[in-house]
Amino acid sequence: MERSGSTVLVKHTTVSEAAALRDDLRSYLVVIEHGEIVARIAVGLETLTVGRDPARHIVISDEKVSRLHLQVAMLAGEVVVEDLGSSNGTFMDGLRLTTPTVLPPERWVQLGSRLLKHERRSHREMEREAELHRDLEKARAYVQSLLPPPVRVGDVRTDWFHRPSAALGGDAFSYGPLDRDHLVAYLVDVSGHGVEAAMHSVSVLNVMRQKALSGVDFRDPGQVLEGLNANFQMEDHGGLFFTLWYGVYSRSSRRLRYASAGHHAGLLFSGGPAPEHLRTKGPMIGAVPGQRYTGAETSVPPGALLYLFSDGAFEVTSPEGRQLGLEEFIPLLGGPGAGTPGEAERVYVAVRKQAKPGPLADDFSVLAVSFD
């Protein structure tokens, strides 16, 4: 299997056609990079070598991976990994491997920033998984198509990065003009993640895009939250609720009206020592019938930056197992490069560096809005 433009090249080993068609379980080595599966190779009779050198069976372009780093072999039905004297080591459960070690199914080793995970699957399972993956990819592409493109020119510009923790997530956001003077931006985070949460987030997004809330003035954040709450009570929607941050900016007055429902603050950086936390009190949408929501307002000076983000962006666990939060996340915002294209993705990379290896536990969304 080869992926052009990626950092991982895999050379096939010979696999018996008869064996491939049976339902017998086979071992696979899965290469995981930044929480994403980038390669899967069957572990067979041939010993697999892993390293930075292009001659290896699995090539990993990572400066912390040695040219010949590791070998993986099948011995007596077990997958055995052996570090071949690498400079930076191979780790399992945080311990550096010094001898050949059995890698049980669903466990992994780490080399550099990559994880190699052992999976046992039948060929039929692999085919079903591939089909499901294709369907999920189509669904993911559809959800992604609902997110508006970044705005790179004009007096109000945006940049964003979105990475669901599973193929589909419950985060969604949007922004755009309400009229000549008013711009709106909002971020939705449905409880949980996966297909169910994604479907709910799409429903909410479509109601918002079509302004399908009867009697609601979309320039009034309180009314919008009340309208959504009336239409999305959790008993009517599979027990799902969502948090929301909603804001409306007036170009003529440079005032930002906002309201939040169970959501942490949006952060407004205006050149001062610390950002302004923009949040109003109120429970999640769908949790309390008839809940009243009241908005608040603030001024947006020239050069200000507004960040909206889901809790998956800052509720991460460090490699030592410590729960991180907003205190570790806020310093990643508003620094050099703030307000420039690609900033939101750089924030994602910085968060990934703070977090333990493996996929983030929750969906990651960051939206940055720059005001001239």
Q: Which residues of 292-316 are buried (b: 16+ CB within 10 A; e: fewer)?
A: ebebbebebeeebbbbbbbbbbbbb
Assess 323 for contact with other proteins (CB under 8 A): yes
User: Is residue 239 part of the contact set for other proteins (CB under 8 A)?
Assistant: yes
Site string for other proteins, 153-172 (x = CB under 8 A): -----------------x--
Radius of gyration of the chain (CA): 24
| Residue 334 region by backbone torsions, left for phi larger than 0, else alpha for psi between -120 and 50, else beta | left
Answer yes or no whether residue 325 interacts with other proteins by CB under 8 A: yes
Tally of CA atoms within 13 A in the half-sphere of 202 that contains its CB: 17
Q: Which is nearer to other proteins, 170 or 295 (CB)?
A: 170
Sketch the per residue contact string, 99 through 128, with other proteins: x for CB under 8 A, - otherwise. ------------------------------
Please tell me the distance from the alpha carbon of residue 370 to that of residue 306, in angstroms, as a whole number.
7
Beta strands of 191-285 (E only): which ranges? 242-250, 255-261, 266-269, 276-278
Distance CA 307, CA 293 (A): 22
Smallest separation, CB 293 to other proteins (Å)? 11
- Considering only 189, 198, 200, 309, the residue that binds other proteins (CB under 8 A) is 189
How far apart CA 314 and CA 25 sit, in angstroms, is 38
- Candidates 36-44, 199-207, 283-291, 296-304: pick the segment binding other proteins (CB under 8 A): 283-291
The two three-digit tokens of residue 330, written as one number: 């806020």
Token pair, residue 359, equals 């996929």
191 binds other proteins per the rule CB under 8 A: yes
Q: Is 283 in the site for other proteins (CB under 8 A)?
A: yes
**Residues in region 241-260 near other proteins by CB under 8 A:** 241, 243
Which position among 15, 30, 330, 361 is part of the footprint of other proteins (CB under 8 A)?
A: 361
Using DSSP bridges, classify how beta strands 78-83 and 36-42 pair: parallel, antiparallel or unpaired: unpaired
3-state secondary structure of 304: coil
d(CA 150, CA 159): 5
Q: How far is the CB of 298 from other proteins (least distance, A)?
A: 19
Structure tokens at 109: 């080793």
When the beta carbons of 234 and 267 are compared against other proteins, the nearer one is: 234
Among 184, 234, 332, 360, binds other proteins (CB under 8 A): 234
- How many residues bind other proteins (CB under 8 A)? The answer is 27
The closest of 352, 320, 328 to 36, measured between CA atoms, is 352
104-to-46, 101, 297 alpha-carbon distances in Å: 18, 9, 56
Choices 22-30, 32-40, 122-130, 185-193 (CB under 8 A): range interacting with other proteins: 185-193
- Tokens 């990819």, residue located: 137
Closest distance to other proteins from the beta carbon of 34 (Å): 20
In whole angstroms, the minimum distance from the beta carbon of 203 to other proteins comes to: 17
Do residues 362 and 311 make contact, with C-beta atoms less than 8 angstroms apart? yes
Euclidean distance between CA atoms 79 and 103, whole angstroms: 6
Residue number, 227 or 282, with CB nearest to other proteins? 282
Site stretch for other proteins (CB under 8 A), options 1-9, 28-36, 50-58, 287-295? 287-295
Q: How far is the CB of 127 from other proteins (least distance, A)?
A: 27
Closer to other proteins by Cβ: residue 224 or 300: 224
Query: Which residues of the chain form contacts with other proteins (CB under 8 A)?
Result: 170, 189-192, 234, 239-241, 243, 262-264, 279, 281-284, 287-288, 291, 311, 315, 323, 325, 361-362
